[in-house]
Chain A
Amino acid sequence: DIQMTQSPSSLSASVGDRVTITCRASQSISSYLNWYQQKPGKAPKLLIYAASSLQSGVPSRFSGSGSGTDFTLTISSLQPEDFATYYCQQSYSTLRAFGQGTKVEIK
């Protein structure tokens, strides 16, 4: 099974900060990596698919990069509505696996 590991598990940041979240796969998954944002009590929302493609309607301050085993999600200038938990997810194998999540909190 492919394991997904995110770091950090949580971070504190201020509005306007540049934030980077890392996701590592236990084996190469090419670009089969997606990123989701989840706010309390809400369903996850797709931000980035195929490692670097921005989902329609998602602000351009969100970007994704990487391939193989190492991936990053970057928020170029953190906004108040971006405080949430972020998950990576691989779609390389049939067994879809999520990372454990990264909680972005207000500093």
Chain B
Amino acid sequence: QVQLQESGPGLVKPSGTLSLTCAVSGGSISSSNWWSWVRQPPGKGLEWIGEIYHSGSTNYNPSLKSRVTISVDKSKNQFSLKLSSVTAADTAVYYCARDRKKTVAAPRYFDLWGRGTLVTVSS
């Protein structure tokens, strides 16, 4: 079955750029799904960061939009997150997730999640 796996550095320096990749296995990233990044600061709730379609279309959380870039690499069946100018407030577990729907007009939902990766921003 389809699985998602996040990877990337677990430690990023303040003012640096956080870079993560989500590998999609068991299925194609070019299927009719959007692919999202969601984060969760330690002990806190979930925050949606943004999403991408295999065509390259993206949508971002306005609160992070100026610092976020999500890209897709169809040849490697993966998508990536870059978050620039990070501070301690960006310390969180970062999840990638599949955002799908049953029919064209149906509501969407995150039905598949990676295990998450903790990124700490510290010098």
Contact = CB atoms under 8 A, between A and B. Distances in A.
A46 B110 contact: yes
A87 B113 contact: no
B109 A49 contact: yes
Interface string B8-41: 0000000000000000000000000000100000
A54 B48 CA distance: 23
Contacts of A49: 107, 109, 111
A36 B111 CA distance: 9
A33 B51 CA distance: 18
Interface in A5-63: 30-34, 36, 42-46, 49-51, 55
Nearest to A95: B61
A85 to B, nearest CB: 9
Contact of A96 (B36, B45, B115): B36
Chain A contact-residue range equals: 20 to 34
A73 B48 CA distance: 21
A44 B109 contact: no
A69 interface: no
Nearest to A48: B109
Interface residues of B, number: 21
B108 A91 contact: yes
B107 A96 contact: no
A43 B107 contact: no
A75 B59 CA distance: 34
Contacts of A89: 46, 109-110
B115 A43 contact: yes
The 5 tightest CB contacts between A and B, nearest first, are A49-B109, A43-B113, A96-B48, A98-B46, A32-B107
26 contacts: A31-B107, A34-B109, A36-B46, A36-B110, A43-B114, A43-B116, A44-B95, A44-B110, A46-B109, A49-B107, A50-B109, A51-B107, A87-B45, A87-B46, A89-B110, A94-B59, A95-B59, A95-B62, A96-B36, A96-B48, A96-B99, A97-B48, A98-B45, A98-B48, A99-B45, A100-B45
